[in-house]
Amino acid sequence: MFTGLVREVGGVAALRTTGGITHFELDAPRSAAALAAGDSLAVNGICLTVTDVHRTRVSVDATAETRRVTTLSRWRLRDPVHLEPALRVGDAVGGHFVSGHVDGTGRIVRFERQGRAASMTVALAPALARQLVSKGSIAVDGVSLTLDAGPFPGRFTARLVPETLARTRFGAVRAGDHVNIELDILAKAATRSLTLTSILARGWDREK
């Protein structure tokens, strides 16, 4: 479990794909010392398992399925990536609960500076957009953000405060970039509950 608060902007130092598994080495000078093989690490919002730590580099592996449903297949050498180690007992939850299980990807369609802050609009699949909640939470490349008021016609807008721009790679993104999207866990649970209730109600009506 994560919070969506980036601890470090690391970088892709090496990558190779063998037998369907992509192996990454990440530069993580601030995070590496606290990590060990077997730990979970959110990389641009994707929960990956640490396979090795050597000085300031952290190694992780990703399967073909992870490459299919996330932006991972687009990563290149020296790309900056958001890093967040998993929550530990006693850690503060400053963002919102993030599982690291990406629901899909989106594409930045507008990024506009507004003084020291910024506004970012992301297009995403209608099936994901239907689950967005006005003023709710969303994780974009692992960063906890607050949605605007909507409506959400296949896109959403989030405001980025100066602190977020300073601590993430979002200060350098541009229109056309792809990002990982994880919907709010509580919103997804509520949507599934309402869907199940509706299905059961229709079945009850048919039986009467």
pLDDT in tens, the chain (208 residues): 899 999 999 999 999 999 999 999 999 999 999 999 999 999 999 999 999 999 999 999 999 999 999 999 999 999 999 999 998 866 767 778 899 999 999 999 999 999 999 999 999 999 999 889 899 999 999 999 999 988 899 999 999 999 999 999 999 999 999 999 999 887 665 565 555 555 555 665 565 5
- 8-85 belongs to CATH 2.40.30.20: yes
Long-range contacts of 13-16 (CB under 8 A, 24+ apart): 13/57, 13/77, 13/78, 14/77, 15/75, 15/77
pLDDT at 195: 53
Please state, in angstroms and as integers, the Cα–Cα distance from residue 54 to each residue in 30, 59, 86, 203, 206, following that order.
13, 8, 19, 57, 62
- In the chain, ranges of CATH 2.40.30.20 domains: 8-85, 104-188
Query: Which residues are CB-contacts of 2 (< 8 A; sequence separation ≥ 6)?
Result: 42, 47, 84, 86, 87, 97, 98, 99, 100, 142
The whole-number pLDDT of residue 15 equals: 96
Q: What is the pLDDT of residue 96?
A: 84
What are the φ and ψ backbone dihedral angles of 5, each rounded to 5 degrees?
Answer: -105, 110
pLDDT at residue 88 in the model: 80
pLDDT at residue 187, as a whole number? 66
Long-range Cβ pairs for the range 189-193 (8 Å, 24+): 191/130, 191/131
CATH T-level assignment (fold) for domain 104-188: Elongation Factor Tu (Ef-tu); domain 3 (2.40.30)
Three-point CA angle 60, 175, 106, nearest 5°: 50
How high is the pLDDT of residue 95?
A: 74
